[in-house]
């Protein structure tokens, strides 16, 4: 075995062992890291960042304010902290089990970042620009409505393709027939192009069909939607997830999963298990643990394993599959997710990157979050408050 392979295996093994140890210690001390101590600091000018304060701030906000949560923090390309609190399964669903950072959770819209990575990989391989029109990558059998010929990859990745829900039955969802219907009816120019973003899951659901076409698979009729989705899923598994050591992830839950989803405040009722999203994937659907997802985002920012630097810069400079958050220390990158059965249980997910000192965090919760809160704001505030003057 080559020395580089040995180093890679050793680094991965040590990283995994560190993660297991951190998560075990955190979960078995009531979901809280040790009290913040100024023993690990990063000073820039007169301001110093304390990673223990950062994690304590997350715990303080999330603890006793949701059913269960878990988070993982990378600092300068190294996993440094992990924490969890609350329950992933209640008494009503078979006995209480603590939330942990290893159970695969439905990513909701964090799946969009995964899909964006895949799209940019393929464009790079084919020497195509993000300004390329998608028209020739749609099934030839689909009728194309007004303005579809104007849509670029960049438009879809930025939610600027003119796609809006029209409250027309059979045209606003994620299935093959529904996105086909939307393309047939056309898109709106007043929601198209820079500054005209209209967030809609169909922008990314379309990639479930576009990616197989880009890869050279034949156009699939609606009856073969499962085959089309299968090509999309296999590419993501092989070219995105596996490169971050993420295995056995699908767009449906593990058969033996104990991960449930609830509403908060919790009233003692049974929760839900989010189901199979194979035929709805692209914008949502992937089941990945918070540890795995944090590793993916860390690799995205700190290596060229899944995207070369020029394409990573294209992704983040143009907010392709991510967004900007103006914080006290500059511009943070993020995406969040939310899905589920509003009557029974939901999931909240978020990742955020802080370029000031190269901190990556992913945090998942299996219920509503504090005060009906907004995850990017929770994580940004926790980070901003972890800086103190010398």
Query: What is the residue-wise DSSP string for 215-276?
Result: TTPPP--GGGHHHHHHHHHHHHIIIIIGGGT--S--SS--TT----BB-SS--S---B----
User: 371 in helix, strand or coil?
Assistant: helix
Whether residue 337 has pLDDT greater than 90:
yes
State the pLDDT at residue 233: 97
Whether residue 6 has pLDDT greater than 60:
no
Q: What is the pLDDT of residues 41-94, one digit of tens each?
A: 789 999 999 999 999 999 999 999 999 999 999 998 999 999 999 999 999 999
What pTM does this model have? 0.90
The yes or no reply on domain 3-114+238-389 and CATH 3.40.710.10 is yes
- Where b means 16+ CB within 10 Å and e means fewer, 23-40 reads beebbeeebbbeebeeee
State the pLDDT at residue 39: 47
DSSP state of 57: H
* Contacts for 244 with CB less than 8 Å, ≥ 6 apart: 292, 295, 296, 299, 305, 306
The Cα–Cα gap between 296 and 294 comes to 5
* Contacts for 262 with CB less than 8 Å, ≥ 6 apart: 67, 90, 271, 272, 344, 345, 346, 366, 367
Could you tell me if 359 and 74 are in contact, meaning their C-beta atoms sit under 8 angstroms apart? yes
For the segment 236-255, the average pLDDT, to the nearest whole number, is 95
State the pLDDT at residue 194: 83
Q: Higher-confidence residue: 387 or 9?
A: 387
For the segment 223-252, the average pLDDT, to the nearest whole number, is 93
The H or E element spanning position 176 is: helix 176-185
In 110-213, the DSSP E strands lie at none
Residue 168, class by beta-carbon neighbours within 10 Å (0-12 exposed, 13-18 middle, 19+ buried)? exposed
State the pLDDT at residue 217: 85
Whether residue 199 has pLDDT greater than 80:
yes
Q: What is the pLDDT of residues 249-295, one digit of tens each?
A: 999 998 889 999 999 999 999 999 999 999 999 999 999 999 999 99
Instruction: Give the pLDDT band of residue 372 (cuts 50, 70, 90).
Output: confident
Could you tell me if 354 and 327 are in contact, meaning their C-beta atoms sit under 8 angstroms apart? yes
State the pLDDT at residue 220: 66
Whether residue 356 has pLDDT greater than 70:
yes
Residue 232 CA: distances (Å) to CA of 122, 226, 367: 12, 10, 29
For the segment 213-234, the average pLDDT, to the nearest whole number, is 84
Output the average pLDDT for the chain.
89
The residue ranges of every structural domain in the chain are: 3-114+238-389
Number of Cβ within a 10 Å radius of residue 240: 25
The Cα–Cα gap between 103 and 302 comes to 25
For the segment 94-110, the average pLDDT, to the nearest whole number, is 97
What is the pairing mode between strands 68-75 and 359-365? antiparallel
Instruction: Give the pLDDT band of residue 218 (cuts 50, 70, 90).
Output: low
In 46-192, the DSSP E strands lie at 47-50, 68-75, 78-89, 97-98, 105-106
The Cα–Cα gap between 290 and 205 comes to 23
Q: Higher-confidence residue: 298 or 44?
A: 298
């Amino acid at each position: 075995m080559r020395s580089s392979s040995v180093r890679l295996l050793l680094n991965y093994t040590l990283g995994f062992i560190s993660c297991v140890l951190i998560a075990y210690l955190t979960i078995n001390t009531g979901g809280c890291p040790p009290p913040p101590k100024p023993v690990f600091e990063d000073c820039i000018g007169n301001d110093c960042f304390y990673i223990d304060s950062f994690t304590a701030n997350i715990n303080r906000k999330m603890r006793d304010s949701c059913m269960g949560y878990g988070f993982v923090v990378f600092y300068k390309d190294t996993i440094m902290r992990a924490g969890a609190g609350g329950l992933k399964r209640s008494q009503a669903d078979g006995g209480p089990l603590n939330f942990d950072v290893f159970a695969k959770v439905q990513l909701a819209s964090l799946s969009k970042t995964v899909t964006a990575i895949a799209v940019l990989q393929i464009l790079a391989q084919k020497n195509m620009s993000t300004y390329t029109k998608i028209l020739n990558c749609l099934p030839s059998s689909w009728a194309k409505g007004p303005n579809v010929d104007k849509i670029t990859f960049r438009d879809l990745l930025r939610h600027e393709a003119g796609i809006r829900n029209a409250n027309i039955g059979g045209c606003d969802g994620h299935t093959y027939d529904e996105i086909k219907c939307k393309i047939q009816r056309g898109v709106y120019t007043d929601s198209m192009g820079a500054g005209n973003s209209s967030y809609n899951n169909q922008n990314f659901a379309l990639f479930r069909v576009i990616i197989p076409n880009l890869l050279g698979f034949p156009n699939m009729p609606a009856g073969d939607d499962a085959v089309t989705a299968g090509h999309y899923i296999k590419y993501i598994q092989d070219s995105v997830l596996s490169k971050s050591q993420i295995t056995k992830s699908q767009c449906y839950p593990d058969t033996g999963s104990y991960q449930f989803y609830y509403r908060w405040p919790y009233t003692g009722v049974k929760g839900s298990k989010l189901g199979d999203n194979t035929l709805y994937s692209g914008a949502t659907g992937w089941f990945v643990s918070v540890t795995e997802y944090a590793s993916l985002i860390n690799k995205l920012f700190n290596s060229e394993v899944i995207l070369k630097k020029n394409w990573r810069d294209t992704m983040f400079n143009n907010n392709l599959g991510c967004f900007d958050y103006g914080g006290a220390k500059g511009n943070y990158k993020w995406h969040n997710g939310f899905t589920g059965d509003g009557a029974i249980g939901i999931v909240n997910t978020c990742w955020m990157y802080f370029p000031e000192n190269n901190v990556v965090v992913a945090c998942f919760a299996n219920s509503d979050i504090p005060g009906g809160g907004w995850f990017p704001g929770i994580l940004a505030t926790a980070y901003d408050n972890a800086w103190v003057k010398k």
